């Protein structure tokens, strides 16, 4: 199955506006001419308006790191999916483990965000993945299954086709410990099996499943060459133009 790979950058709460501008300029300057993958950039929300102007006429797509499911209202400090969509944001991360752990986001709340992102014509990048304790007890599959069931499996077939899944084992995020290509492939195959069980093979075959967690320029190629790994969601290594460009190269084959 030939799925278009994605190289997605998650800047998290990093970089000044000037540093972000420069990084985008350097990425645009270095992007391969024969781009066959999608390149998605999720900066801090406050930089999005300016970044969207910078990305005009390029192949790079702007993304939000989070959103609120309500359209508007008394939610101090929040930004709605509708607001992001109206300014031209195309993708929105949802269910990142940092949101789940540090901000107590539940599968139910994440489900509401997934719905809001789709209703506003954006593409959800749905993050899932287990903690080290769960993996040590060999409970990672049950945990990820529940994340998918409770936040995604209410979707209709034509909706799930728009979703991008990102498997990000928590023990690999920002730790320098990357899942081995075999560990990543094993979980990605499990996720695809779950999708097949719920939506059938044809639909499941179209859904991109990204890996995230300490992707670097030197491990991206081997990870992305696994049959069910359709690119990556990159944190730390996306803050540097040359390392992110080599990850784009790895996704571009």
Determine if 235 is a binding residue for ligand PGA (CB under 6 A): yes
Q: Residue 117 contacts by C-beta under 8 Å, 6 or more apart in sequence?
A: 67, 81, 92, 94, 123, 124
Half-sphere exposure of 13 (CA within 13 A, CB side): 3
Rule CB under 6 A: say whether 51 interacts with ligand PGA: no
- CB nearest ligand PGA: which residue? 235
Residue 124 interacts with ligand PGA (CB under 6 A)? no
Q: Are 188 and 209 in contact (CB under 8 A)?
A: yes
239 is a contact residue toward ligand PGA (CB under 6 A): no
Taking CB atoms within 8 Å and a gap of at least 24, the contacts of 192-197 are: 192/228, 194/145, 194/148, 195/148, 195/160, 195/165
Of 168, 171, 194, 247, the residue at the interface with ligand PGA (CB under 6 A) is: 168
**Which string of DSSP letters, residue by residue, matches 198-235?**
HH-HHHHHH--EEEESS--TTTHHHHHTSTT--EEEES
Contacts of 83 (CB under 8 A, 6+ apart): 72
Annotate each residue in 210-229 with x if it binds ligand PGA (CB under 6 A) or - if it does not, as one string.
Answer: --xxxx--------------
Is residue 154 annotated as a catalytic residue, yes or no?
no
- Under rule CB under 6 A, residue 246 binds ligand PGA: no
Query: Which residue among 5, 6, 7, 10 contacts ligand PGA (CB under 6 A)?
Result: 10
How far is the C-alpha of 36 from the C-alpha of 46, rounded, in Å? Answer: 29
Q: Identify which of residues 82 and 250 has a Cβ nearer to ligand PGA in the complex.
A: 250
Q: How far apart are CA 48 and CA 44, in angstroms?
A: 7
Interface with ligand PGA, residue 69, by CB under 6 A: no
Supply the angle between the helices 17-30 and 241-251 in degrees, to the nearest 10.
Answer: 40
| Residue 96 appears among annotated catalytic residues | yes
Q: Which is nearer to ligand PGA, 124 or 235 (CB)?
A: 235
Tell me which of 38, 68, 96, 105 is the catalytic residue. Answer: 96
Q: How far is the CB of 7 from ligand PGA (least distance, A)?
A: 12
CB 67, min distance to ligand PGA, A: 16
Identify the active-site residue in 38, 105, 168, 188: 168
Our finding on whether 62 is near ligand PGA (CB under 6 A) is: no
Catalytic residues: 96, 168
Residues forming the site for ligand PGA (CB under 6 A): 10, 168, 173-174, 212-215, 233-237
């Amino acid at each position: 199955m030939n799925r278009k790979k994605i190289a997605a950058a998650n800047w998290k709460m990093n970089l000044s506006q000037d540093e972000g501008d420069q990084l985008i300029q350097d990425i645009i300057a270095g992007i391969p001419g024969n781009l066959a993958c999608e390149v998605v950039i999720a900066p801090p929300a406050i930089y999005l308006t300016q970044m969207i102007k910078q990305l005009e006429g390029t192949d790079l797509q702007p993304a939000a790191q989070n959103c609120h499911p309500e359209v508007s209202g008394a939610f101090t400090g929040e930004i709605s999916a509708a607001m992001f969509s109206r300014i031209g944001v195309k993708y929105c991360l949802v269910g990142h483990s940092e949101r789940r752990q540090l901000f107590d986001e539940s599968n139910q709340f994440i489900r509401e965000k997934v719905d809001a992102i789709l209703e506003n014509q954006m593409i959800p990048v749905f993050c899932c993945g287990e903690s080290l304790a769960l993996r040590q007890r060999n409970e990672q599959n049950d945990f990820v299954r529940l994340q998918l069931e409770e936040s995604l499996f209410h979707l209709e077939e034509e909706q799930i086709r728009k979703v991008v899944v990102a498997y990000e084992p928590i023990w690999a995020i920002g730790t320098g410990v990357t899942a081995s290509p075999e560990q990543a492939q094993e979980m990605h195959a499990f996720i695809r099996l779950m999708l097949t069980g719920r939506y059938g093979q044809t639909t499941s075959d179209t859904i991109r499943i990204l890996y995230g967690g300490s992707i670097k320029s030197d491990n991206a190629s081997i990870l992305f060459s696994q049959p069910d790994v359709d690119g990556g969601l990159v944190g730390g290594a996306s803050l540097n133009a040359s390392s992110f460009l080599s990850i784009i190269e790895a996704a571009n084959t």
